[in-house]
Structure 1
Amino acid sequence: MRVLGISPLDKDSSVSFMEDGQIVFACGEERLSRVKLQSGFPHQALKLGLERTGWTPESIDTVAYAFFDGNEEARLIHEAAAHDKAFQSTKKLRASADRYRALRSKDYELDEQIKIPGLESKADEFMPPKTWWKRAVYEATARVPALDHFAHGKYFGEWVQTAVADHGKWSNELEEGLDAYGLKDKLKRFQHHDTHAANAFYASGFDDALCLVLDGYGSGCCGGVYRAGASGITNLHRYRFPYSLGIFYEQVTSALGFRPSRHEGKIVGLAAYGRPELLSDLLKSRFECEQGDIKILGAQNYLITRAMALHFSKRDIAAAYQSVLEYVACQSASYWLKKTGLKRVVMSGGVHANVKLNQRIFEIDEVESVFIYPNMGDGGCGSGAAMLAFEDQMPQSSPLPNAYLGPDYSDKEIRSALEAESLTFEDCGADLERRVAEVLADDGIVARFNGRMEYGPRALGNRSILYPAKDPAVNQWLNDQLGRTEFMPFAPSVLAEDAPSLFVNMGPGCAKTSEFMTVTFDCTEAMKQHSPAAVHVDGTARPQLVTAESNPSFHGILTHYKSLTGIPVLINTSFNMHEEPIVGSPADAVRAFMLGNIDYLAIGTCLVPHPKRRDRLALSADASIGVES
């Protein structure tokens, strides 16, 4: 049986080709269009998938999609709005207003003892001054419960109108797109969060599990809880919209000057520098959590976060939001774990891109094992919908082998891209892994393009930039070269067999999900000493465990590097320029390599030195001399 899964068209539109319960090809449209989080019908990804798999539209049995049609989604949206109207009240928001006024009556000082890369001055820690009327509106909605309530109703009403129109638009575009391939009559639609639950459970390899789904919005809800086992997946609870932890985190991302749905990871990194206790009680007063449910008072009033940003530092606001996110999600997860008696947790949905939250859930006493789907956002819903289309035919016993499900490219295509830029190269053949390790052992930086592209948001060695983890200063240099501004150190890729000596609480219960960089761990003292560039200020890291089975070539590089240095760790960051998708084709790789001034490009069997490499080495030497003097 062949099923084509298509993720929601509103952002990060992707395709998943599944045959007999196995994903044979999966790719996001953004990797081909070169527009980050590309929306719309994924024509390029679909055409490439048909080409690479050899499928024809006629050979496809079912097309699976992760939303209902526009009319049904509109009904669910209006149903959610009616329920919320009965729940919200001015009286319930008084505690929030009281806490805000109390905080504003106290002196506040920024703790400047710890410096944050990218926030070099005290002015960078605070949002730029707003016009007087904006400041007045923000303050009023934070201080006056009636205005807080009014702002929520106003913005939720506007969201409802926009969401209903958008669902109609995307539903029509989906059907029109499928009709062009003769596939419209094969379309089967599914509840959005059910597709998240399916991809998390069926890719985990667990016999049974509690499925926890948390995201922004989908089919009238913002998440759900499920029991999964041999008889399938059963919904136990749905978190109603607008009580969305995804929107909650988007609000702080926007208020601190970053782009929602794109820069939430910066908030996670920034949070580690702050003092969560200063503002967390204010945020907690806006939650009602009983019997495993989550409800948020004034959920759509994003102005209160902007009021906070007028007076408190970015680091302290980020810390409070991260702390409350962890508290609320873990409180709900604990309830359902005790109620079901399950010991394994699988997770999917955009909120579970938050690797610190995933660590906290793994640390709950009742939890023995966790798995987070590697494409946890909406881009992964196409594969979840396809899994549901197989119904009882989905295999449960074997986990997803790896996430290398995108396209690969021939030696001819690779060499053509190199020749187009007149680049010289060394053809290393089977010796490439050793040569790359030698460059890295000599403190070089290598962009790697190899084999099939990763599916999902993480670069896992095939479209990655690699360098030694021993010097944190290189992090900032590379950020500058790639046009990035980050608050987290880059993630480490490590030999899986060495992981227990590098990370605390690293055991079989999380080994598989750690192959996909989906959860953080506390680092051992040995890790902190020999690989400080991979360790965050809070002593954690987000590792990728590399096995000989999941990626033999990358495992070979790490093995050779360890034999030369004694260190089984390399920094692995995505191979892309700032605000661009991860590179997809050889031409994309060559362009990013040239623009980023990276020392070497390892592409196919070729090792390519950058034409300006000598200039960078000279600059590095000058900088070192300056520091020593």
Structure 2
Amino acid sequence: MRILGISGLHNSEEFKRRELPGLSDREYRISQGRDSAAALVVDGRVVAAAAEERFTGEKTTGAFPVNAIRFCLDQGGIGLDDLDLIGHGFAHERSGLESGDDYLDRRFTEVYDPERQLDWFAEHFPGAEVRSRFTPVSHHLAHAASAYYASGFDDCLVLVADGRGETESLTVYTGIGGKLEALHTVPAMHSLGTLYGVFTLYLGFEMAMDEYKMMGLASYGDRTRYERELRKLVHVRQGPEFAVPLLARDGDLLQRETHRGVLAVLEELFGPAREPGGPLEQRHMDIAAAAQVALERCLLHVLRHYRRQTGLRDLCYAGGVALNCSANGLILRSRVFDRVFVPPGAGDDGTAVGSALYLHATRKPETPIQPMRMPYWGSSFSSEDIAEHLATRTDVSSRRVTDEEELLAETAQALERGEVVAWFQGGMEFGPRALGHRSILADPREARMRDHINNLIKKREDFRPFAPVVTEAAASTFFEIRGGRERQYAHMLFTTRTRQEHRDRLGAVTHIDGTARVQTIGADANPLLHALLERFGGLTGVPVLLNTSFNLRGQPIVRTPREAVDTFLRGGLDRLVIGDHVVVPGGVS
């Protein structure tokens, strides 16, 4: 069975710009349906998946994923009419709207109505028969499926938490015997994702994009300074219940579309909001820390309740909130569950994968779904493709190194000398993290390397940490990872502590609070990067590298050789290892 899954809501921001003129760009970003993507599942296996942003260059775009769809079909060697089913990770219904609101009615008709997806297919794939094969999948169910069916777990608890789905913001499921059953939902009016996003907005960042910045900033704050204020805004109740009465302060349509009502309350409590790009004060750090604590407290409250009620010992977890690595690390370290799985595409792009997996599981349950290892499901290029592009460049020097041992030894030596290396190999990763195929790599030992990459290459805020990638065999030596849990860190979605005795040796990848967002690599998952880590470890005694995404500020992760070379030059990196080619700026390599 061949199933295509898609995510995103085309025209969502454009509708808001037309209907509500005069808002700020940050306010227009507050719209549902970003992170559009496509995924192809064939007989229970993900064979291709990619976010539309990688093709258009518009970060977090919600545009109809026509380029991603075409890529997936090309990878599968099929056309649109060869598909058995098409799923979409939203299933809005007009009955869920507030009656009599013309704005919401028009938005449903022009953006949310599943019929609009058929319109976009007809526009981009004229003549293809889609209607009989198209199935909307509720948003949280698609998230849940992206985690449960990819995990390989038989029986587990499944948590979905985000800004909102159709009408809900948190759902708890059981995943038992291949079936998902909902136990509990929290309506959008009490959304943890929206709460965290509004604090992100208050602190001068972009909502629905920069929450990870607030997460990093929180580590610099006093987690207790504003604890009393947050407890007034977020109430933990008996059983699995919690409430976020703060969000009710967005009283009218304009406030709900901009969160001006909630922001006014935050300014009353904490002082003026930070202007974008303005100086960061200690109170900003303390506010971020308090919001992080509130999020973690609510998540653990829900999870502990359902762990006791169901007796299920494993957890799958997805939704935008599941990209909060600090909260994920706390959940894992709490030992409430034996195993925790978060898919690499935990955000809305992952509902493309999830909607396809859900349809497979419900329509063809006799064919098992293949658990995932690494999500290298995107564009890849042969050595010949790369050479063809490099032959057109006059601004770089390149040479091919066909001996893999020579390539690895040379790259390890360059890293040991302090070079910053762009690393472009194999299929592009799915999800927001660079997992060793579209990475910038560097020596992790000196804190000054972090500052160098932040200031000169990535041109981003200096408080933001970089992640380490480490061999599975060495992970528990350098980081506080329990033996047997190394593979849970494969997707760079959990923080843990760098062991005290190694913090000075890992200054570029250890955050201010002693934590690190670790990615572990096994030889079976990424043989080339694993071998490079071993070579670097042989030179330095540390089989760890700094690993950050191969992109610059405001740019999606690179997809093609052209983007790789252009970004390499703009970023001022020292060398690019792209396939079996070594590239340096100008001169002689």
With normalisation by structure 2, the TM-score equals 0.86
Q: What residue ranges of structure 1 are gaps of 5+ in the alignment?
A: 80-156, 615-629
With normalisation by structure 1, the TM-score equals 0.81
**1:228-377 counterparts in 2 under 5 A?**
228-288=175-235, 289-299=237-247, 300=250, 301-307=262-268, 308-310=270-272, 313-377=283-347
1:175 is matched with which residue?
Answer: 118
Cα distance, 1:162 vs structure 2: 5.3
Indicate if the aligned counterparts of 1:449 and 1:604 stay in contact, CA closer than 8 A.
Answer: yes
Worse overlay, 517-526 or 424-433? 424-433
Cα separation, partners in 2 of 1:324 and 1:186, compared to 1, 3 Å: same
Cα distance, 1:363 vs structure 2: 2.6
Indicate if the aligned counterparts of 1:501 and 1:526 stay in contact, CA closer than 8 A.
Answer: no
Aligned mates of 1:360, 1:577 — CA distance in 2: 30
Aligned mates of 1:577, 1:302 — CA distance in 2: 30
Aligned mates of 1:225, 1:306 — CA distance in 2: 33
**1:98-113 counterparts in 2 under 5 A?**
none
Aligned mates of 2:480, 2:38 — CA distance in 1: 37
Aligned mates of 1:254, 1:207 — CA distance in 2: 39
Identity of aligned residues (%): 31
Cα distance, 1:391 vs structure 2: 2.4
1:4 is matched with which residue?
Answer: 4
Deviations 1:516-541 (A, max 9, x none): 00101111124313211111111110
Cα distance, 1:260 vs structure 2: 0.8
Match for residue 166 of structure 2 among 212, 219, 231: 219
Match for residue 565 of structure 1 among 511, 516, 540: 540
Cα separation, partners in 2 of 1:447 and 1:503, compared to 1, 3 Å: same
Cα separation, partners in 2 of 1:184 and 1:210, compared to 1, 3 Å: same
Cα separation, partners in 2 of 1:565 and 1:245, compared to 1, 3 Å: same
Instruction: Give the 3-state SS of the residue equivalent to 1:55 in structure 2.
Output: coil
Match for residue 415 of structure 1 among 387, 399, 423: 387
Indicate if the aligned counterparts of 2:37 and 2:51 stay in contact, CA closer than 8 A.
Answer: yes
Cα distance, 1:15 vs structure 2: 0.2
Larger of the two Rg values belongs to structure: 1
Aligned mates of 1:167, 1:515 — CA distance in 2: 41
Worse overlay, 179-188 or 351-360? 179-188
Match for residue 96 of structure 2 among 69, 72, 76: 76
Cα distance, 1:8 vs structure 2: 2.5
Deviations 1:194-243 (A, max 9, x none): 11111111111112111011100101101200111215111101111111
Indicate if the aligned counterparts of 1:175 and 1:184 stay in contact, CA closer than 8 A.
Answer: yes
Aligned mates of 1:11, 1:587 — CA distance in 2: 26
**1:74-153 counterparts in 2 under 5 A?**
74-78=94-98
Alignment-mate amino acid for residue 466 of structure 2: F
Cα distance, 1:404 vs structure 2: 0.4
Match for residue 391 of structure 1 among 361, 371, 374: 361
Alignment-mate amino acid for residue 133 of structure 2: K
Alignment-mate amino acid for residue 24 of structure 1: V
For this pair of structures, how many residues does the alignment match?
A: 532
Instruction: Give the 3-state SS of the residue equivalent to 1:68 in structure 2.
Output: coil
Cα separation, partners in 2 of 1:428 and 1:35, compared to 1, 3 Å: same
Cα distance, 1:344 vs structure 2: 0.8
CA root-mean-square deviation: 2.1
Match for residue 577 of structure 1 among 547, 552, 556: 552
Cα distance, 1:612 vs structure 2: 8.3
Cα separation, partners in 2 of 1:505 and 1:463, compared to 1, 3 Å: closer
Deviations 1:301-326 (A, max 9, x none): 23222332428721011011011111
Cα distance, 1:375 vs structure 2: 0.4
Q: What residue ranges of structure 2 are gaps of 5+ in the alignment?
A: 10-32, 251-261, 274-281
Cα separation, partners in 2 of 1:18 and 1:231, compared to 1, 3 Å: closer
Indicate if the aligned counterparts of 2:41 and 2:48 stay in contact, CA closer than 8 A.
Answer: yes
Deviations 1:424-452 (A, max 9, x none): 11311123222211211221110011110
Cα distance, 1:164 vs structure 2: 6.6
Cα distance, 1:486 vs structure 2: 4.3
Indicate if the aligned counterparts of 2:44 and 2:357 stay in contact, CA closer than 8 A.
Answer: yes
Alignment-mate amino acid for residue 474 of structure 2: D
Cα separation, partners in 2 of 1:507 and 1:364, compared to 1, 3 Å: same
1:551 is matched with which residue?
Answer: 526
Instruction: Give the 3-state SS of the residue equivalent to 2:163 in structure 1.
Output: strand
Indicate if the aligned counterparts of 1:271 and 1:316 stay in contact, CA closer than 8 A.
Answer: yes
Deviations 1:28-47 (A, max 9, x none): 01001011011121111111
Cα distance, 1:254 vs structure 2: 0.6
- Does residue 1:495 correspond to 2:471, yes or no? yes
Cα distance, 1:483 vs structure 2: 2.1
Cα separation, partners in 2 of 1:365 and 1:452, compared to 1, 3 Å: closer
Indicate if the aligned counterparts of 2:475 and 2:481 stay in contact, CA closer than 8 A.
Answer: no
Cα separation, partners in 2 of 1:386 and 1:486, compared to 1, 3 Å: farther
